[in-house]
């Protein structure tokens, strides 16, 4: 669980409409298997669109379809089952632009996993395995609930609109604007509230829970720490 109370330094980001990315370069993170997109602004990939990954072992003269790999949509990474050291890697698909939505006074992310009992009749001890995982949390930010989320000054895509429209969003939590560490999750907003106090100070609070979009077969909760 991550929890922060840091005045207005906690940065909350949301994502906008998908933008096409073509042959984006990825770099080896050091283990030979994990490659990360070079352009950090394009590190959240649209899971609704196929991502094509290619590799080259001749300095980019020819490209072939990537061998067995896993895509990490919220960090713009590709993890190969075998080392690709010395090769060039690129990806095409769509990325989700992100922008600062709020400076929160308090924010919490909590990750949990259900346990599944696998004990057979006659066993002496209880055996368990990890089951489904999820992320949930709350945030309190001194912004209006009708604060536009696309940065163009309009009123569309406000918190209320997202709640009423039942849209999935990517919420990125950064405890300090000067620190690169982040936690990201695909979430559903479950509640929103607006409070007024003395001197017309307005405080907004939102609760959320992670969700695995149906396009991913409900096989996983998209959650990423980086």
Range of lowest pLDDT (40-49, 121-130, 148-157, 170-179): 148-157
Q: What pLDDT is attached to residue 181?
A: 66
**Is the four-CA dihedral 81, 37, 226, 136 of positive or negative sign?**
negative
Q: What distance, in Å, lies between the first and last C-alpha atoms of the chain?
A: 14
Q: Coil, helix or strand for 207?
A: strand
Q: What is the pTM of this model?
A: 0.71
pLDDT in tens, 74-98: 889 999 999 999 999 999 999 988 8
Q: What pLDDT is attached to residue 212?
A: 64
- Name the range with the highest mean pLDDT among 52-66, 68-82, 158-172, 191-205: 52-66
- Is 76 in contact with 170 (CB distance < 8 Å)? no
Cα–Cα distance, 78 to 29 (Å, whole number) = 10
Percentage of the residues of the chain whose pLDDT score is greater than 70: 62
- In order of their start, the domains of the chain are 2-14+98-225 (2.30.110), 18-95 (no CATH)
Q: What angle do CA 207, 211, 216 make, to 5 degrees?
A: 160
Q: What is the mean pLDDT of residues 181-204?
A: 67
Q: What pLDDT is attached to residue 31?
A: 93
Q: What is the DSSP letter of 186?
A: E
pLDDT band at 209 (very low <50, low <70, confident <90, very high): confident
pLDDT in tens, 104-157: 677 777 878 788 888 888 889 989 888 777 778 877 755 544 455 444 444 445
Strand order in the sheet with 77-80: 64-65, 52-56, 88-95, 19-28, 34-37, 77-80, 69-72
Whether the predicted pLDDT of 201 surpasses 60: no
- Quickly list DSSP for 21-72: EEEEEEEE-SSSSEEEES-GGG-SB-TTS--EEEEESSTTSS-EE--SEEEE
């Amino acid at each position: 669980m991550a929890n922060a109370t840091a005045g207005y330094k906690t940065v909350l980001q949301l994502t906008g409409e998908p933008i096409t990315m073509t042959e984006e370069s990825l770099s080896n993170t050091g283990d030979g298997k994990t490659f990360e997109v070079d352009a950090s602004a394009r590190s959240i990939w649209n899971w609704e669109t196929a991502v094509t990954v290619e590799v080259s072992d001749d300095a980019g003269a020819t490209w072939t379809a990537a061998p067995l790999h896993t895509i990490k949509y919220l960090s713009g990474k590709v993890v190969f089952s075998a080392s690709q050291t010395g090769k060039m890697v690129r990806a095409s698909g769509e990325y989700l632009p992100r922008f600062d939505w709020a400076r929160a006074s308090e924010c919490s992310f909590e990750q949990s996993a259900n346990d599944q009992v696998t004990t057979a009749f006659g066993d002496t001890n209880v055996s368990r395995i990890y089951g489904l995982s999820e992320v949930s949390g709350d945030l309190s930010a001194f912004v209006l609930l009708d604060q536009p989320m696309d940065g163009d000054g309009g009123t569309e895509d406000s918190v209320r609109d997202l709640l009423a429209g039942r849209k999935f969003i990517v919420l990125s939590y950064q405890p300090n604007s000067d620190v690169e560490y982040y936690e990201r999750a695909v979430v559903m907003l479950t509640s929103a509230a607006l409070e007024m106090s003395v001197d017309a100070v307005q405080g907004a609070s939102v609760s959320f829970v992670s969700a695995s979009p149906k396009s991913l077969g409900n096989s996983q909760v998209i959650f990423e720490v980086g």
